[in-house]
Amino acid sequence: MKQLARTPKDIGHAIREARKGQRLSQAELASRSGLWQETISKIENGVASTKMETLFDVLAALDLEIQVQPRSKGAPSSMEDLF
């Protein structure tokens, strides 16, 4: 399951999917990553443009990592963002 991300919203989205895939509540993820449920909510919804530090905390809690790569041709980030 690889998710492209070009905006904070994309990442929030990817995080939510991963969290659900692992059957975790925001509160659980929060406690695992040393954050608050409210903060997770905001991150997932792209409300606050999180600090990297924080981002990596939740990525680690979900056992995810990030790959930096040249922009791929085709896919414009994520289809849904167009609507």
Is the separation of the CB atoms in 14 and 44 below 8 Å? no
Instruction: In angstroms, give the least distance from the CB of 52 to a copy of itself.
Output: 5
**Token duo for residue 37:** 């449920």
User: Which window, 30-38, 60-68, 70-78, contacts DNA (CB under 7 A)?
Assistant: 30-38
One residue of 48, 56, 77, 78 binding DNA per CB under 7 A: 48
How many residues in total does the chain contain? 83
Is the separation of the CB atoms in 58 and 35 below 8 Å? yes
Is the separation of the CB atoms in 79 and 48 below 8 Å? no
Chain residues in the site for DNA (CB under 7 A): 25-27, 34-39, 41-45, 47-51, 53-54
Chain residues in the site for a copy of itself (CB under 8 A): 1-8, 11, 14-15, 18, 49-53, 55-56, 59-60, 63-72, 77
